[in-house]
Chains A and B, each alone.
Chain A
Amino acid sequence: MTPGPWATRIGHLGLVVILAFALLAGRLWQLQAIEGGHYLELSEQNRIRDYAVPAPRGVIFDRRGQPLVTNRASFTVALLPMEVRDPPRLAEALARLLDVDAAEILARLAEGRRRPFEPVRLRRDVDRRVVVAIEENRLDLPGVVIQAEPVREYLHGALAGHALGYLGEITEAELRTRPDYRPGDLIGKTGVERTYDDLLRGQAGRLRVEVDAAGRPGRVLGRQAARPGHSLVLNLDATLQRVAEEQLRGHVGAVVAMDPRTGEVLVLASSPGYDPAVFAGGISPANWRRLTSDRGLPLLNRATEGTYEPGSVFKVVTGTAALAEGVARRESTYACTGALVLGRWVFRDLAAYGTVSFVRGVQVSCNVMFWTLGRAVGPERLARYATALGLGVPTGVDLPAEAAGFIPSVAWKPRAHGEPWYPGDTLNMSIGQGWVLTTPLQVARMLSAIANGGTLVQPVLARRVITPDGREVRAIAGRRTPVPERLPAAALETLREGLRAVVEAGTGRAAAVEGLAVAGKTGSAENPRGRPHAWFAGYAPAERPALVVVAFVEHGYRGGIAAAPIAKAIFEAARSSLLAETGGAP
């Protein structure tokens, strides 16, 4: 039989078929034979996800082993950018659930698109109700995942908040210098959380999981356990810290207590305080605004970051310099007439004390005597001693953002003020006024050197680094360096006698503790911002000092009235252990 007339055209169709199949086969060859390796890699990336398993952060203990900061389990709501289908709608829904701004969610999501398989945290430490609500609406919320993560728990609330510090998400700037962190990681922002962040944070583990298209994890392909962070034992004494904070309640100020022999910081309080727990799950914008706009500056650690005129507390420096340089002797007497005449100017004291010995002059805080001593020592040597005793220089405490303070000098003044150093400036400086600025911690360090016989100690908050099961990783001790000025033992002896008299029968009587010999110096520092600052810096036991306490109340007016009782409360609380330690009689 012969083919029909349509056969030619069917032949043409055959040609089309051949061409079409050749095209398909060629394309398959390209995809599978030539580019197959690349696609295989892509398919592996599709199915394999590496998750970071957060390491529990180290626990922070006080010096007696009492835990201050631990961790508790919490739920974090995160987004897998890869799985998110309708971002605006999702952001809307989540904003309501999480009480986070929808725009913020969208911004974080956009940021996360660069790593579409990495979960982007939206909110840490969400309420269990929120977790339930999300689980119930899982199908309507593609891409939303809930992760279990430990968050900080502050067992004593706001106690020692400034010393402990708070955590926050790492910033772009911090990330640049710390390649071992990932976006969204928590990092210590302040306090020892910051200083010892590397030790506390541990090492996140990795979990390699096979996931399906919806991001649901299936088989575990590999795991590397998280290494929990080291724990930190502080020198801080929770009991004394609590006493200090109770004393400061209602005041603006700071309290520092340290062991003058070692630099161990037992108390570091600043008021007003804040509760670091509000940062634990990521601080809400409202809370952040409240903390940063508060006129009382609750985030400021006044003990180390605030600088203030020391006032009469500085007389310890003036007295030391005068005695060490031989300008004053134990036997010297001074006419405390109530005023000092300097050329055309008259410098008035609070009161006239008559003729006083050096010790008595310290006891009553006679300005005329210290003006006289200051003039005799001279501003250059005064500045040298102040600096040598650690004023106006950072103490090296293991806390971030420490302030330096300031000691003026003859050479500095013309540069800064365009005027020469006047004799009146020397008088002001010798009683801790003028331009002298110190932190409460510097004052504690200065007094420690007087109390311990001439050694500058570096204040340290941390005592030991230990593993989670308690083995010591390393002990932490402050550097001890001799004061780089001549400090004859007899000079210190005389000065300490004066400081003892201050508390026994002088301006600092309010710091006296029964059965414990307390020595110290009060201060009421004139300042341009308001009423004088109240200071008390003291130590005990007087004969074998084991605890230095500095109490500072901003605009507290009289050191002997506003600050000394705070120090007293701390000495009182520490009395039994101080006596037991130094072998004194109760």
Chain B
Amino acid sequence: MTARWAREVDWVLLGTTGLITAYGVVVLLSATHGVAEPAAVLRTRLLHVAVGLGALIAAAAFDYRRLATAAGLIYGATLALLAAVLVVGDVRLGAQRWIPLGPFGAFQPSEVAKLTLIVTLARHLDVARTLPRMRALFPFLAHAALPALLIMRQPDMGTALVLVAILAAMLYVGGARPADLAGLGAAGAVVAPFFWQALHDYQRRRLTAFLDPAADPLGAGYALIQAKIAIGSGQLFGKGLFAGTQNVLRFIPEQHTDFIFTVVGEELGLAGTLALLGLFLVWIWRALGIAAGARDRLGALMAAGVAAMMLFHVVVNVGMTIGLMPVTGIPLPLVSYGGSSLLVTLAATGLLLGIRLRRSWF
């Protein structure tokens, strides 16, 4: 019994998750070197990992099909949290994203919203069975739009866009006609200018700065220029851990959170960045594998949503540091400092493991 259970665990996914997390701890120690006590950083991080591991195990053990039956409750609770954060949330860096949790620090409901969307949308799509025409997609659009708009209000554009990516991937896997999806995309392009108007000035500047960072080298383009310098200057093998001058001398803002990939690039070089990307590729590949091999449509949709979430995070975060993507401020999963993100990513991993476990079980 135990042996069979163990055989059904995706050790590659679990191992990859562990490796990325460990990699992240090392890089994080370097990124916070000289600013925070290493022991304190390590302690906090390990605490987050421990809690996250709990979440992972719980998510793997709990049957995702039973979880899906509680979709309405989960969805409602998440919306309530997202609304609450707008009222009682802490304001940090100009955005209201955190709900204070006393001694446990603070908590970001928007992180949970990603997982909520994956689970509830999977349930929603599973119930609908088919998506024969564009009109059939509208309820799902509304489903994702509600939390996305609340998140936009914080404002946290990056996470809102993650929700959009998850929606798109899950609709596709759920059987939406490519023409319908393309139509939605076109409609999105049409309404985009209105959203553009609604954005804060700094958000607009950040979004366009990557096209020409040199236009505002001390303002919006600053982080982009410095990030590229950091990563490029790492060359093939990097300057060595704790030896990146861009990192140690604080040329990059938010280097321990959104811009942590620059520390990898500068201190470990191309070898380090490709190794980390390789690990993420394996992770996503396994997630897609689990989706493909899921025993039911519900599991496949959930796994695909998780894979899309991870893909979007990695591509947008890394792309932002190397000048391919606008700065949207989303973390690099398992690596960036931040408990909520780590917890949610590990829970998502647990969800994947659970789907895989139940492929042939029961």
Contacts of A28 in B (CB 8 A): 231, 265, 270, 273-274, 277, 322
The proximity string for B residues 92-134 relative to A, scoring 1 for CB distances below 8 Å and 0 otherwise, is 0000000000000000000000000000000000000000000
Instruction: Say whether B288 faces chain A, with CB atoms less than 8 Å apart.
Output: yes
Known contacts being A32-B231, A47-B249, A212-B249, is A13 close to B304, with CB within 8 Å?
yes
The number of A-B residue pairs with CB atoms under 8 Å apart is 153
Across the interface, do A10 and B235 meet the contact criterion of CB distance under 8 Å?
no
Task: List chain A residues, Cβ under 8 A from B250.
Answer: 212-214
Chain B contact surface mostly: helix
User: In the bound complex, do residue A4 and residue B249 qualify as a contact, i.e. CB atoms below 8 Å apart?
Assistant: no
A45, chain B: closest CB distance, angstroms: 9
A24-B318, A28-B273, A33-B236 known; A17+B288 contact, CB < 8 A: yes
CA–CA, A213 and B225, complex, Å: 13
29 interchain pairs, CB-CB under 8 A: A3-B292, A4-B292, A7-B293, A9-B172, A10-B300, A13-B169, A17-B307, A21-B277, A23-B324, A24-B277, A24-B319, A24-B324, A27-B322, A27-B323, A28-B322, A32-B232, A32-B235, A32-B269, A32-B270, A32-B273, A36-B232, A39-B228, A39-B230, A42-B232, A43-B229, A47-B245, A47-B246, A212-B251, A218-B249
Tell me, in angstroms, the Cα distance from A211 to B314 when the chains sit together. 32
The residue of chain B having its C-beta at the shortest distance from the C-beta of A23 within the complex is B324
- Give B220 Cβ to nearest chain A Cβ, in Å: 12
Question: At the interface, yes or no: B221 with Cβ under 8 Å from chain A?
Answer: no
Instruction: Give the residues in chain A near B173, CB-CB below 8 Å.
Output: 6, 9-10, 13
Q: How large is the interface on B (under 10, 10 to 19, 20 to 34, 35 or more residues)?
A: 35 or more
- Asked if B62 is at the interface (CB within 8 A of a chain A CB), the reply is no
* Pairwise interchain contact B297-A4, C-beta atoms closer than 8 A: yes
Top 3 closest pairs, chain A to chain B, by CB: A39-B232, A36-B235, A43-B233
Residues B291 and A39 in contact, CB atoms below 8 Å apart: no
A11 to B64, CA, bound (A): 23
Interface size on A, residues (CB 8 A): 44
Q: Out of B230, B266, B285, name the residue touching A14 (CB < 8 Å).
A: B285
- Compute how far the CA of A585 lies from the CA of B250 in the bound complex, rounded to whole angstroms: 80
Inter-chain CA distance A214–B315, complex, in Å, is 30
Q: Is the interface of A mostly helix, strand, loop or mixed?
A: helix
Asked if B330 CB lies within 8 Å of chain A CBs, one says no
Per-position 1/0 for B254-280, Cβ under 8 A of A: 000000000001100110011001001
Q: Mark B297-309, 1 if CB is under 8 A from A, else 0.
A: 1001100100110
- Is B270 in contact with A213, judged by CB distance below 8 angstroms? no
Question: When the two chains form their complex, are residues A17 and B281 in contact, meaning their CB atoms are under 8 A apart?
Answer: yes
Please name all residues of chain A whose beta carbon is closer than 8 Å to the beta carbon of B301 when the two chains form the complex. 6
Identity of the chain B residue whose Cβ is nearest the Cβ of A4 in the assembled complex: B300
In this complex, the member of A1, A7, A21, A38 whose beta carbon has the largest number of chain B beta carbons within 10 angstroms is: A21
Decide: A10 and B265 in contact? CB cutoff 8 A. Answer: no
CA distance A31 to B265 in the complex (A): 10
Q: Find out whether the CB atom of B274 lies under 8 angstroms from the CB atom of A25.
A: yes
Q: Looking at the assembled complex, report how far the CB atom of B313 sits from the nearest CB atom of chain A, in whole angstroms.
A: 11
Q: Does A344 contact B (CB under 8 A)?
A: no
Q: Establish whether residues A85 and B315, one from each chain, have CB atoms under 8 Å apart when the complex forms.
A: no
B295 CB to closest chain A CB, in angstroms? 8
In the complex, whether A46 has a CB less than 8 A from a CB of chain B is yes
CB distance from B176 to the nearest CB of A (A): 9
Tell me the complex Cα distance, A293–B318, Å: 64
Interface membership of A107, Cβ < 8 A: no
CB pair B300–A40 under 8 Å, yes or no, is: no
Q: Does A309 belong to the interface (CB within 8 Å)?
A: no
A109, chain B: closest CB distance, angstroms? 12
Q: Chain B contacts of A155 at CB under 8 A?
A: none
Contact of B232 among A6, A38, A218 (CB under 8 A): A38
Report whether B230 and A43 are in contact in the complex, using a CB–CB cutoff of 8 Å: yes
Query: Is B334 interfacial (CB-CB < 8 Å)?
Result: no
Are the C-beta atoms of A210 and B249 separated by less than 8 Å?
yes
Within the assembled complex, what's the spacing in Å between the Cα atoms of A419 and B265?
A: 88
Given contacts A29-B270, A43-B246, 5 further A-B contacts (CB under 8 A): A13-B304, A17-B311, A24-B277, A24-B315, A25-B277
Q: Which residue of A lies closest to B237 (CB)?
A: A32
Which chain A positions have C-beta within 8 A of B231? 28, 31-32, 39
A13→B230 contact, CB < 8 A: no
Q: Does A20 contact B (CB under 8 A)?
A: yes
